[in-house]
Amino acid sequence: MSESSILEASAPGSIMLMGEHAVLRGATALACAVDRYIHIRLAPRNDRQVNISSALGDYSATLEHLPDDVHLSFVVAALQSWREVLPGGFDLSIQSEFSHTLGLGSSAAVVAALTALLDRFAGTGLTREQQFDRALKVIHQVQNGRGSGTDLAASLYGGVIAYRVNPRQLRPLKGLPTLGLWYVGYKMKTPEVLALVERKSQRYPSLYEGLDRLMAQCSEKTAQAVDAEDWSATGELMNLYQGLMDALGVNDARLSELVYALRAQDGVWGAKISGSGLGDCVVCLGEAGDLDLPYERIAVGVSAPGVRITTVEAGD
């Protein structure tokens, strides 16, 4: 890469198909990359200045002093972790094809794209797995150790992945399903949902352990169904997992209304909450038509490729 080369990275957003909550306690989770992307452009400078331009805010600093920023916390944390090996300053522009308020893993996609970009800029030559490790440390730093890394894995690798935290297992699956996604119009922050479930589980620990076991079994069966492109079985298992999410205490009336409206569609195999619950999104498997409900349809398809890096010469 010449000194005048500009690097561009794109990383897909992601949605959870299966394994919410239980993945944090050892179960396999399924997630897929979607064709809504985060784009980051890095233009090298001949000094140590770092300038960031994004929809969430602008930022200027030097590599030697990168103060935290509440609006760009993931970006700044990534830069802080890489600054010792970076050859110089740069101008960074970040653009997104989707709003950070939607449950499409925007933070994970930003960290995935930026990690791959800085790896190329620094010439460190990390493997995809090493990039994953590096990026997950950044996410844990910002989120006080929370985060399974499932959405990060989907953004880095693309397609549909089955992922387990410990012992780590990451399996790309063969099937690329047709999905629909609807936003219910509000969401509770994931750490707050996790804390709520934790409080509930302390009252009935053995029952919640049983829910975890059922969720783990359901996720493994779904991974097999997606790999075999058995969409009928995949839809049945999605419906089953939705019931377990309801038992966990993360469903509500509007999510239920949306789930059952989607299941009533002729072209839909199954529907469930996507993400931690108590708001955010519902995902369905199959071709769904328009709904006579006040919820936002988000046009997405599964993205086969994960993070991509391109190099252009200045002036192109």
Residue 149 sits in a domain whose CATH number is: 3.30.230.10
pTM, two decimal places: 0.89
Q: Are residues 10 and 137 in the same domain?
A: yes
Cβ-based burial of 197 (10 A; exposed 0-12, middle 13-18, buried ≥19)? buried
How do strand 160-164 and strand 29-44 relate by DSSP bridges?
Answer: antiparallel
Q: Are residues 9 and 54 in the same domain?
A: yes
- Summarize pLDDT for 195-215 with one digit per residue, the tens: 999 999 999 999 999 999 999
Q: Are residues 47 and 166 in the same domain?
A: yes
Cβ count within 10 A of residue 68: 10
Q: Are residues 211 and 170 in the same domain?
A: no
- What per-residue confidence (pLDDT) applies to 4? 64
Q: Are residues 97 and 22 in the same domain?
A: yes
What domain range is 190 assigned to? Answer: 179-298
- What per-residue confidence (pLDDT) applies to 2? 52
- Summarize pLDDT for 151-178 with one digit per residue, the tens: 999 999 999 999 999 888 999 999 899 9
Q: Are residues 9 and 106 in the same domain?
A: yes
Q: Are residues 151 and 13 in the same domain?
A: yes
Residue 206 sits in a domain whose CATH number is: 3.30.70.890
Q: Are residues 170 and 210 in the same domain?
A: no
Q: Are residues 28 and 136 in the same domain?
A: yes
Q: Are residues 293 and 184 in the same domain?
A: yes
Give the position of tokens 């069966």.
Answer: 221
Q: Token pair for residue 290?
A: 């328009």
Q: What are phi and psi of 225, to 5 degrees?
A: -65, -40
- Summarize pLDDT for 42-56 with one digit per residue, the tens: 999 999 999 999 998
Mean per-residue pLDDT over the chain, rounded: 93
Q: Are residues 154 and 233 in the same domain?
A: no
The total domain count for the chain is: 2
**12 contact partners, CB below 8 Å, separation of at least 6:** 33, 34, 35, 36, 37, 38, 109, 154, 155, 158, 303, 305, 306
Q: Are residues 37 and 125 in the same domain?
A: yes
Q: Comparing C-alpha atoms, which of 92, 69, 61, 66 is closest to residue 79?
A: 66
